[in-house]
Structure 1
Amino acid sequence: MRHDEVYAELTGGRAREWTLRALSGAVRAVRHPLGFVCLPLERRGGDGVCVHLWSGALAHAESTTSQIHCHSWDLFSHVLYGQIRNVHVDVTDAGPDATHRVFEVVSDAGGDHLTPTGRTVRHATGLVEAFGPGDSYTLSAGRFHSSVVPEGGEAATIALGRGRPGSRDLSLGPLAGRGHHVARQPLDAKETARAVSLIAAHLT
């Protein structure tokens, strides 16, 4: 299940079939701090393949900083169902009039370590892109954004990531925020099965 192989399946119009096949195997979902449930399918070097699920039927984790973040990896995202808004955010360095501090996020098997940096900023909403079932979009590493699902909406995407050397995972947080650790919350077997069944129900 390598990144390039999955990419070929998605761009070849076989996303539905690939997803149902991939989720039929062993998978353990986790609640992601950005508000979705993540079903990780592959981690190989700097590459990753995940299915992301937004659903009111499952409890979700809350961010300790904000929804505005940037990745250390280039993203290719394919929408399986629902609507996703990719909200680009323009971030400007600021001094006394700053509204947020940039946090560096370092993730490992135990969760996320968030460390405040010396960079303080202001931000403004930039381009807002809306994507529906069957649409794909890309986002380069280092671009601040947030992924928004309409209130009460149900959505799922396939996310492919390819690490870019020298890039960092960052999040905008409160000016006075301190460094902290956020443990990832795994779903138990029953909840994971529920997540898989929700996705399968929309695709069959």
Structure 2
Amino acid sequence: MIGIRTREELETAALLLDQGSPDKLRLLTRSIIDGLCTGRLASRSVGHPLGFVCFPVLREGLDGLCVHAWLPGAVPPFTSANAVHAHSWDLTSFVAVGSLGNQLHTAQEHDDGRYELYEVRSTSQDDEIRPTGRRVDVIGRPVSPERTGEVYRLPAGAFHLSDDHDAAPVVTLVLGTGRPDLVNLIVDRPGLAPRRTRRTEHTPDQTRRLAGRVRALLA
């Protein structure tokens, strides 16, 4: 199997993640990356504003599967940010290489909060960030790093802050299950104007080169 292309294959990946089968999940991740390296899986990687390379595999409705890779130097520093944010989807992720931590935060909403919540509307090419006027304070909790071979879950709506991965590469296989009743939110200083941040879509050659770096890590 080269990559995930059908709903049935997506459900198989979801089952493996639910079972927490590290050997099979690593094999699946390697299969996807092999397909990208050879061009048999037609997908272009994207430089994500949060500092990682995203290799999209399948998006069907509100559900999607992808490989995320934090590769030193792959995403320009000015696009990388470690902002407290909350997804509109339930996230299940297998750590294929390295380790990372997601620090959960409690967001307490009140009129004189130190920060403001911003809604993020995303497409494959950019993110539109809109102020909501909702003020919050955020309180972080201790971090428990997730290591190679482990599966972790982040429920939709959970505010969190991902580690900075500049020092060491990390590769994860990620399944997102969308929640139509929620929106993506990010925490920032109050009073910012609406803005767009553009994602960097890589060429097929760039995608293959980046996938090659990931394949070397999975060897």
Summarize deviations over 1:120-170 as a string: whole Å, max 9, x none: 111121141201110011111000002214551110101100011201100
Aligned to 2:133: 118
CA RMSD in angstroms comes to 1.9
User: How far 1:200 sits from its partner (Å)?
Assistant: 0.8
- Does residue 1:76 correspond to 2:111, yes or no? no
Aligned to 1:179: 194
Q: Distance in 1 between matches of 2:82 and 2:166?
A: 17
Relative to total residues, which structure has the larger helix share, 1 or 2?
Answer: 2
Aligned to 1:17: 27
Aligned to 1:142: 157
What pairs up with 1:25-174 in 2 under 5 angstroms? 25-60=41-76, 62=78, 67-96=83-112, 98-174=113-189
1:14 partner SS: helix
Counterpart contact for 1:66–1:173, Cα < 8 Å:
no
Are residues 134 and 66 of structure 1, via their aligned partners in 2, closer, same or farther at CA, if it must alter by over 3 Å? closer
State the identity as a percent. 31
User: How far 1:196 sits from its partner (Å)?
Assistant: 0.7
Q: Distance in 2 between matches of 1:64 and 1:175?
A: 20
User: How far 1:65 sits from its partner (Å)?
Assistant: 7.7
Relative to total residues, which structure has the larger strand share, 1 or 2?
Answer: 1
The alignment covers a number of residue pairs equal to: 203
Q: Distance in 2 between matches of 1:122 and 1:54?
A: 29
Counterpart contact for 2:50–2:80, Cα < 8 Å:
no
Q: Which letter does structure 1 place at the counterpart of 2:12? A: E
Greater Cα offset, 72-81 or 10-19: 10-19
Counterpart contact for 2:82–2:163, Cα < 8 Å:
no
Aligned to 1:6: 13
Q: Which letter does structure 1 place at the counterpart of 2:197? A: V
User: How far 1:94 sits from its partner (Å)?
Assistant: 3.0
User: How far 1:188 sits from its partner (Å)?
Assistant: 2.3
User: How far 1:69 sits from its partner (Å)?
Assistant: 0.5
Q: TM-score, normalised by structure 1?
A: 0.91
1:152 partner SS: coil
Q: Distance in 1 between matches of 2:43 and 2:199?
A: 15
Counterpart contact for 1:87–1:127, Cα < 8 Å:
yes
Counterpart contact for 2:57–2:65, Cα < 8 Å:
yes
Counterpart contact for 1:85–1:149, Cα < 8 Å:
no
Counterpart contact for 1:31–1:61, Cα < 8 Å:
no
Counterpart contact for 1:37–1:60, Cα < 8 Å:
no
Runs of 5+ in structure 2 lacking a partner? 36-40
Counterpart contact for 1:29–1:39, Cα < 8 Å:
yes
Runs of 5+ in structure 1 lacking a partner? none
